[in-house]
Structure 1
Amino acid sequence: MSRKRWILLLVIAAILVFGYIKLFYKTWTEQAVAASADQVLVIDVKRVTNTLLWQLLTSPGDWKFSNPFAKKSKDTSWRDMIRIPDYLFAFHSKGQPPGTWYALLDIKSKTGFDACLKKFGFRRLSENEFTNDSTGVYLFVQQDKMLAARAGGADSNLVRQVASELFTRNKFMARAELQKAVDAKSHLAVYISPGNMLKEAGILTANFNRESIKINGLLMPAEQYAFNEEEFSYSTSSVANVCFTQPSQPLFGSLDSTTREKISKAVNLHADSLLLPGNRSYSLVLQDIKERADSAISYTFDDDFNKVEKLVVNNIQEPSFCFVINGKNTAALHAYLLRNNKLEHTAEGELFLPMPLVKSYCREETGGALSITAFNYLPSPADTHTKAVFFLRLSFSRIPGNLLRYLPGSLAESTGRLDELFIQVSRKEQQLQVTGMLTKNKNSPSLIRF
């Protein structure tokens, strides 16, 4: 073989080795996660990057070309502040508020770090602590490491506890436990530690392609938390379906007062009176968002101060829904509604007063069921059946476009590109199997892209 061919082979080999290291070779350390972590979010950065690159290479229509001779402006970004790891770990520390999460990152350069602090409006609290009040991001810096927290300045003691655990006491999560999430070989994985709710560590994964994001996972609940399944039927022509079985008493009892208050506020009923022991299941069908004309008479005055009657016609949108509770204690719930003046007797039936969006009626059905139904609801035949502990289906494409304007701009745009969300929790022997899928509209761009 000639010398030129040897050189060519060496160059090709070097390119292949470099490409392998750059795209596929990954390292990680458990020293990025504190020992107190009870939930860990793991993002396989290279797997995500490779998938996005492949989608871009195989979609020429998404290619964007710029003038190679144009002068590029230098703008400070997060990439100037931190090194992007092969695996990004974000974790929640046991006993801290649910929304407080942490990520330990390497600082790329002191210059880039200082520039980002200035650009993104961080306020210095001490020599190594910074906070951004508008975004609720708190930074704790130790040499070339940065602990980023989703916490406000008022939570500084919580951040310092985790910083002490990582930087002073060197208490890290066991590598064997973290390995379970890494071994899931997914774009994203969530590790949930065993404890009060779970008998064993649980892993949930999420993977994406051009058309959808898929969720999978198995959870082993503790023995005191029993989960029952039920056969649910629904029509795929509806906007949304939510079905779930009665939570066990230990599970419902484990909810703190704040969570119970949120449930009560969401349904406009006291949660303890709604989720009664002895009930079997709950199902909500949002059939459609229907429009109707509503007229009203107003009065104005002419130039001679004569009263002039004016008819005003408004087109209003109302949900068409049916909520059904099955079980032995629906009579007790009905009595609670009557006792607390939640129902009003009318010629059409018992008007359900807590529903402000549409005129709805409460009825005791045969077979131990209680229904709350909008006046405009027309039952449609079920075409799908599923056995589940919990089930959610939401058809974004059937939501009227004018309702999306109430969402923030970027969220409204993203929601308009979605087709359907599906989540189901069902039993698999002693475990709970979690499956889900989020799909996009046929002609919309990829769900996740550069």
Structure 2
Amino acid sequence: MKRRLLFLVCVIVLLAVYFILYHKNKELKYIPDGADAVVLIDVKNFTRKYLSETVLHPSVWLKEGDKKAGISWKDAGIKIPDFVQLFHLKNEGFSNWYMVLEIKNRKEFESFLKDQNFQTKGNSLYTNGNIFLKINGEICIAGTSQRSFETIESSLKSNKILWNADDFMTDGIGSLGIINGKNRENYSIHLNDENIEISNFTDFKKAETAFSQNINQTDFLTAQLEQKNIQTFSNLFKTEIFSHPEINSVEMNADLKQITDTIISYDYDDNFNEVEKVSYQKIVQPQYLIQIKTKNSDEVWNYFEQKKFISPQNQFTAIPFLPNKISRDENGILINTVNHPKIKKSSEANFILIKNNPLLLSSFKSLSPKITKKVRELESVLYWNDKKQTLVRFQFKSGNLPLILR
């Protein structure tokens, strides 16, 4: 009898573990048909990883008890889906992303918003300055913009496309899916101890070569992009700067420097005589070199002139950081602010490597303390592409705990 009871208890526990940590509802009903990019986070996979890392790091147990009381996501009055679904809409800016939340307790949700410093704007709209929300019955649309809230609402009502998580997920804790008509490209999202990687392959040896050859350079940014990647980024950021078909490649490096800027203003003394006042402020200014490689520099130069990118003083005004100088050399066209050394091509692949710089934060004084802390922990961002293989890596500084526990 005791054995049967013990067996029954074990079965119940195993079933409970299965349904809590493994069983998933894979229906993605909150992705509108106008989406061209989708990010999925596998909540249960994330939870399993969090629990396993917590068991391996007992120091976290005490910290959990020291946290101040507050409203957590499980007490926010919303349903936590098995897959968090973020999406980007066609013809939207790169930074505009949205998601749809299901509300299970509106009072708890409104209390959560108040705790997170959201202010009402009327018509069920809320914002904290960075995130916008609109409550409509039992759902809430959240986004970095409120531009397409009405479009999303109407699209969800008539949405004929019902996606399944298996359409996007491969391995890892999440995925990024790029939708182009009937075509779809999927990229796995992996959360490692000290980095987050988004890729469509698993062998990173070639990418590590580009990373290791440039990580010791002092420059804030190092990059080399061929025509296909230039067009990709031109479409992504909706810019025509380097999109001319005669441009074969663009190579660049840039660094951040703090300079003292002189400000001259005028006032009047008691006798109404004009008095010059001189003050100083420290500003962060990039110094850079951009090599545009082309076999037809005349045509590219004429294109820049037609777009009014070149000033009478031969400055390239399409880049907001002036002064600079644009000239022609044996490789094509050169844009530079200082006499940087010529860029040495490190590999045949395309890459952008951005290294964190303390001066960067001084340019974004409006960031909240939480975001500032996260930016300080970020060490570098790497984009790497070789033919059909692509990797984006967010590398963080080494710590006593893996990223998921920080």
* TM-score, normalization by structure 1: 0.68
Separation in 1 of the partners of 2:263 and 2:163? 68
Q: Which of 199, 214, 239 is the aligned partner of 2:220?
A: 239
Equivalent position of 1:385 in the other structure: 346
After superposition, give the CA deviation of every residue in 1:411-440 in whole Å (9 maximum; x if it has no partner): 33212111111112221xxxx322121111
Confirm or deny: 8 A CA contact 1:89 1:104 kept in the other structure. Answer: no
From 22, 25, 30, the counterpart of 1:24 = 22
Aligned to 1:403: 362
Matched, 1:87 2:80: no
Aligned residues: 388
2:190 pairs with one of 198, 207, 220: 207
Match of 1:160 in 2: 153
Deviation, 1:326, is 0.6
Change (3 A) 1:14 1:338: closer
Corresponding residue number in structure 2 for 1:303: none
Amino acid in structure 2 at the alignment position of 1:191 = G
Match of 1:362 in 2: 326
Residues 1:87 and 1:331: Cα distance change in structure 2 (over 3 Å): same
Q: In the alignment, is the contact (CA less than 8 A) between 2:38 and 2:87 conserved in 1?
A: yes
Using a 3 Å threshold, how does the CA distance of structure 1 residues 317 and 136 change in structure 2: closer, same or farther? closer
Taking the TM superposition and a 5 Å limit, the aligned residue runs for 1:103-118 are: 103=100, 105=102, 107-109=103-105, 112=108
Matches within 5 A, 1:133-282: 133-134=127-128, 135-141=131-137, 145-150=138-143, 155=148, 157-165=150-158, 171-175=160-164, 178-182=165-169, 184-195=170-181, 200-217=183-200, 235-236=214-215, 237=217, 238-247=219-228, 260=238, 263=239, 271=240, 274-282=242-250
Residue 334 of structure 2 aligns with which residue?
371
Whether the aligned pair in 2 keeps the contact of 1:289 and 1:399 (CA below 8 Å) is no
Higher alpha-carbon Rg: 1
Secondary structure of the residue aligned to 1:62 is helix
Please, what TM-score do these two structures have when normalized by structure 2? 0.74
Residues 181 and 189, structure 1, Cα contact 8 Å, conserved in 2: yes
The answer to whether the 8 Å contact 2:26/2:82 transfers is: yes
Displacement of 1:379: 1.3
2:252–2:343 CA contact under 8 A, matched in 1: no
Other structure's SS at 1:51 match: helix
- Distance of 1:401 and 1:255 partners within structure 2: 26
What is the CA–CA distance in structure 2 between the aligned matches of 1:173 and 1:255, rounded to whole Å? 27
What residue ranges of structure 2 are gaps of 5+ in the alignment? 202-209, 268-274
Letter of the aligned partner of 1:212 in structure 2?
N
Change (3 A) 1:60 1:362: same
Shift of the 445–312 alpha-carbon distance from structure 1 to 2, 3 Å rule, reads farther
Corresponding residue for 2:289? 322
**Which deviations, in whole Å up to 9, do the C-alpha atoms of 1:149-204 show, x marking residues without a partner?**
438777554243124225xxxx34254xx42213x132121233342xxx622112
Deviations 1:94-135 (A, max 9, x none): 677873634253x3346545655777555674xxxx322554
Alignment partner of 1:386: what SS? coil
SS of 1:207 mapped into structure 2: strand
2:136 aligned with 1:131: no
The equivalent residue for 1:101 is 98
Give aligned-pair identity as a percent.
Answer: 20
Q: 1:298 to 1:122 in 2, by over 3 A?
A: closer
Counterpart in 2 of 1:419? 379
Which residues of structure 1 form unaligned runs of 5+?
A: 219-230, 264-270, 301-307
Q: 1:285 aligns with which of 231, 253, 270?
A: 253
Aligned CA distance change for structure 1 residues 324 and 413 (closer, same or farther; 3 Å): same
1:319-345 Cα offsets, whole Å, 9 max, x none, are 332101011232234456678593566
**Deviation of 1:212 (Å):** 0.7
Distance 1:30 1:121 in 2: 30
Q: Which amino acid aligns with 2:125?
A: T
The alpha carbon displacement at 1:241 in A equals 1.4
User: CA separation in 1, counterparts of 2:392 and 2:47?
Assistant: 23
- Kept in 2, the 8 Å contact 1:41–1:91? The answer is yes
* Contact 2:377 2:397 survives alignment (8 Å): yes
Which residue of the other structure, out of 336, 354, 363, is the alignment partner of 1:394? 354
Show the counterpart of 1:436. Answer: 392
Q: CA shift at 1:276, angstroms?
A: 2.3
> Residue 221 of structure 1 aligns with which residue?
none
The separation in 2 between residues aligned to 1:233 and 1:62, in whole angstroms, is 33
CA–CA distance in 2 between the matches of 1:435 and 1:113? 37
The amino acid across from 2:327 in the alignment is R
Please name the residue that 2:205 is paired with. none
